[in-house]
Amino acid sequence: MHDVADSPEEGTPADPAGRATEAPPEQTTGDPTRSEETAVDGPPDSVERHDDGLTGLVERLGDELADVADRLGGELAALRVELARSQDRAKAREQVIDRLHEDNQRLRAGERRLLLRPLLTDLQRLRHDLLRTAAGLPPTFDVAAAADMLRSYAANLELTLERGGITVLSPTVGATFDPSRQRATGTVIADDPGQDGTVADVVLDGYHDVEAGRTVVPAAVRVHRWTADPEPTAVEPASPPETGPQPTPTP
């Protein structure tokens, strides 16, 4: 009769040597993918903490961006206000400049009228004198009297120019030609070398600005020019005709 302890368990394969063999480990059933995800992701608590950290970071970034946007909006509004003020100041400056320009133009026009008033007064007086003289000319008025009358009017105009700071340049015949106050309109042959470069004739008087110290209109003159006579060319005497036996005419 065999002992119960020595007999192999039921369902266990026996070893040929009489020893019992261990049963193979039981295979677990289920989804192997789920097991791998669980092993990789870790415990559920750590996943939730990770999600909470990301959410907090996103919220903080959103708050900071909102603060930056608010600051930028405020600065842009301040810039718009400052730009509007600058435009208003520019418009005000332009208005002031326009008003000053108009005032300057009026002042210049007034100054021109003040400067021209003495001249206009003299011209009015000259016109009245001309009309009065023309109305009282005698029947025996000749050329000499007309020339004297015109010279008197020219003298009155010369006084008017002097009151305006302009003097008349009347060159003297025989004086040395001055290119700074005179301009040559022609030349006249000089009778001797001493006349070379002198004024031969006055065509028109000139005018000189006293205040500016410069000639406004140079006087027009003709200038003497000396030209030496060319040496006379020696004339060779004509040779006498050749004399010789005259040919005898044949009958």
> Which residues does 13 contact at the CB level (< 8 Å), separation at least 6?
21
Q: What are 204's two structure tokens?
A: 């028109």
H or E element at residue 113 = helix 44-135
CB-based contact 91:84 (threshold 8 Å): no
For the chain, domain boundaries: 46-164, 166-225
d(CA 132, CA 127): 9
C-alpha closest to that of 168 among 204, 207, 201, 202: 207
> Which residues does 182 contact at the CB level (< 8 Å), separation at least 6?
169, 171, 199, 206, 218, 219, 220, 221
Q: CB-based burial of residue 204 (10 Å sphere; 0-12 exposed, 13-18 middle, 19+ buried)?
A: middle
> Which residues does 217 contact at the CB level (< 8 Å), separation at least 6?
206, 207
CB-based contact 181:150 (threshold 8 Å): no
Q: What single-letter amino acid sits at 216? A: V
d(CA 218, CA 178): 10
The sign of the CA dihedral 46, 51, 52, 58 is positive
H or E element at residue 222 = strand 219-225
Q: What is the pLDDT along the chain (251 residues), one digit of tens a residue?
A: 444 444 444 444 444 444 444 544 444 444 444 444 444 445 556 666 666 778 878 888 888 888 888 889 888 988 999 999 999 999 999 999 998 888 888 888 778 777 778 888 888 888 888 888 888 888 888 888 888 888 888 888 898 888 888 999 999 999 999 999 999 999 999 998 999 999 999 999 999 999 889 999 999 999 999 987 645 444 455 555 555 555 554 54
Q: What single-letter amino acid sits at 183? A: R
CATH class label, 166-225: mainly beta
Q: What are phi and psi for residue 135, nearest 5 degrees?
A: -75, -25
Q: What's residue 188's pLDDT?
A: 94
